[in-house]
Amino acid sequence: MDVRPEMIINTATQGLTLQNEDGSMPPGVNGPHSHVMTGARTTSHWAITFLLAFSYTKTNLFAEAGEKCLKVLLSPKYRPRTGSFWHRQHPGKNEYNGLIGQAWTMESLLYGYALLKEEVFLRTCREVFLLHKFNQDLGLWHCLGIQGNTEPIEYTLNQQIWMAAIGSLLSEHYPEMEEYPLLFLDKLSTYLMVNPTGYISLGISYHSLLQRIKQKIKKPFLQQGITTLQDEKTVGYHVFSLCGLAIIFRHFPQHTFWECSQLQTALELIFTTKYENDISTNMFGYPYNVVGFEIPYILYSFNNIMPYEESHELSRKVLAKQIHDHYDPENSMLNRNTMDPITLASRFYEVYRFLAPEITNNDLEYGR
């Protein structure tokens, strides 16, 4: 089972029925986190799905839908001040959803610029990225409030990885910006902590250790099975971290970080029966983080440093599981068997990474 062009087109067509007049899409609840969200995240994701369908069909209806998504993201509805995009409205949680909420919207703006060539998308992406204060000594980003105020450093590792991934993508357009992801990579071997079973820890270095002490986890991590919500998240976000690293690797393959033994251990884990069993019932896995779409991209990207013969078969297997278990062919939506069908449906967009259609085709004439 694979992702065929007609599946992308059918999904985008169904997405059109969900789009509001202003271009926004219905909000989900941040998967198992169950947060009250704005529509900024789902609108960002759907923008890419619409534009991916346009890249296959050259149908302006899809281009218009994608453009409307991106323009409402730039509007006061989702960027009410001069700072970050407004992603979350949950009591006790920040409004910008850490670094990751911003990374998702910036990713959509970059893809939108690649297809539609509207400078405002690229310009705004660069602006928001640079508004995030970067600590050069630590190689880490601070969060950014919606008012434009500097917030504390984000110590969730996958969020820092994804911020560096956006910096890598931006460096294609602004070569001087490569200093940010490169400084991050310079420090990453210090921060990356892989547990005895091969899983990447959620937190950065000592922050992760402190969390484990607070939880009084005395047994070796995950050696005795998944026993806490923190364990569940660590399993569910393992591939999400690797996916962000794969984006960075494709831009800076010569960096010495890629020789890190901990990275090799983390990559090898996804070939094991243990990982297959752990992720198969994990609520942050297939029903939320779409590992069946992310693993094929990871294996393709890292092929030069881990050319396993099993890579193709594993990619086929996880992709088939993602579609079989969660894609509803009757309504052309990735919304089955999940606690958050709205968010999962929007994450169908992640197929664009491993399909990698040429997004700079000269025959894409929308808006010219």
pLDDT tens, N- to C-terminus, the chain (368 residues)? 678 899 999 999 999 999 999 999 999 999 999 999 999 999 999 999 999 999 999 999 999 999 999 999 999 999 999 999 999 999 999 999 999 999 999 999 999 999 999 999 999 999 999 999 999 999 999 999 999 999 999 999 999 999 999 999 999 999 999 999 999 999 999 899 999 899 999 998 655 555 554 554 444 445 556 568 889 999 999 999 999 999 999 999 999 999 999 999 999 999 999 999 999 999 999 999 999 999 999 999 998 887 677 899 999 999 999 999 999 999 999 999 999 999 999 999 999 998 864 343 334 444 43
Q: Regarding beta strands 134-135 and 150-153, do their DSSP bridges make them parallel or antiparallel, or are they unpaired?
A: unpaired
Q: State the DSSP code for 220.
A: P
> CA-CA distance, 294 to 16, in Å (whole number)?
25
CA 284, 191, 103, 259 torsion: positive or negative? Answer: negative
> Would you say the pTM of this structure is higher than 0.85?
yes
Please list, residue by residue across 100-124, b when 16 or more beta carbons sit within 10 angstroms of its beta carbon and e when fewer do: bbbbbbbbbbbbbbbbbebeebbeb
**350 φ, ψ to 5°?**
-65, -10
334 touches 344 (CB < 8 A): yes
Torsion of Cα atoms, 122 then 353 then 333 then 3, to 10°? 140
267 touches 302 (CB < 8 A): yes
237 touches 284 (CB < 8 A): yes
Q: Which domains are assigned to the chain? A: 5-191+203-353 (1.50.10.10)
Task: Give, in order, the Cα–Cα distances in Å from 111 to each of 15, 18, 31, 106, 114.
Answer: 18, 21, 24, 9, 5
> CA-CA distance, 74 to 111, in Å (whole number)?
15
